[in-house]
Amino acid sequence: MSKEAPGVRYAELYRETSETRVQVVLDIDGGTRRDVSTGIGFFDHMLILLAFHGQFDLGINAEGDLEVDDHHTVEDVGIMLGKAFRQALDHSDPIERYGSNHTPMDEALVLVAVDFSGRGVLTFDVPFVREKIGELSTECIREFFRAFSSNAGLTLHLHKVAGVNDHHVCEALFKGLGRALCQATRRSDRRGVASTKGSLD
């Protein structure tokens, strides 16, 4: 199927600044291809988990000023992935809109809830103990989700229920978000948008 065909929920975006260059390719209805390279190994791993559990195709190539730190790269990937979801869903039939789950990862347990409301809102209640997981600063994890939710027009709630291993907690967050996105972006039999206002914004 051509990416220009009606009903294909696809986006391909590129952004270059003095700090980063980020390219994102997203096919919400793919589910078999994941090619991610950001220069931050643990972040790559998380994004691949997000796409796998979200059942969408994802390509991300990012080059950033990692000699400074990882903040700009992580934030800009979140910005571009959020924009990609927003653009891809512009061409969608009505969607379920909401998705939520509890996702465990060994001793860790998180609650993830999403609403494609058209309004970018993040509630993040996930304390970390370590400063870094691999080469990913734990303070940047919130920044990724903030940038993603804001640019996707997504209300996103992330809450840690249990867990002592920061790696497991972070993995549960990305897996849980993927699962919630898969649920929320499913095409709906509803006639029109899932809002009494008639508009998601």
What's the pLDDT score for residue 187?
94
What tokens does 148 get? 């993603």
Q: For the chain, how big is the Rg over CA atoms in Å? A: 16
What's the pLDDT score for residue 92?
83
Q: How many CA atoms lie within 13 A of 134 on its CB side?
A: 16
For 146, residues 6+ apart whose C-beta sits below 8 A from its C-beta are 78, 122, 124
CA distance 114 to 120: 10
Strand-strand pairing, 57-64 and 34-37: parallel
What's the pLDDT score for residue 91?
76
CA distance 187 to 62: 30
Please state the domain extents for the chain: 10-184
CA distance 64 to 72: 7
Q: What is the largest CA-CA distance in the chain?
A: 51
Strand-strand pairing, 34-37 and 20-27: unpaired
How many residues make up the chain in this entry? Answer: 201
Question: What secondary structure does DSSP assign to 36-54, as a single string?
Answer: EE-S-HHHHHHHHHHHHHH
The pLDDT tens digits along the chain (201 residues) read: 345 555 789 999 999 999 999 999 999 999 889 999 999 999 999 999 999 999 999 999 999 999 999 999 999 999 999 999 999 999 789 999 999 999 999 999 999 999 999 999 999 999 999 999 999 999 999 999 999 999 999 999 999 999 999 999 999 999 999 999 999 999 988 655 544 455 555
Q: 116 and 153 in contact (C-beta within 8 Å)?
A: yes
pTM (predicted TM-score): 0.91
What's the pLDDT score for residue 191?
58
Q: 115 and 152 in contact (C-beta within 8 Å)?
A: no
Give the residue among 123, 118, 119, 112 at the shortest CA–CA distance from 183: 112
Give the residue among 114, 145, 153, 113 at the shortest CA–CA distance from 128: 145
For 189, residues 6+ apart whose C-beta sits below 8 A from its C-beta are none
Give me the architecture of the 10-184 domain, per CATH. 2-Layer Sandwich (3.30)
Residue type, 32: T
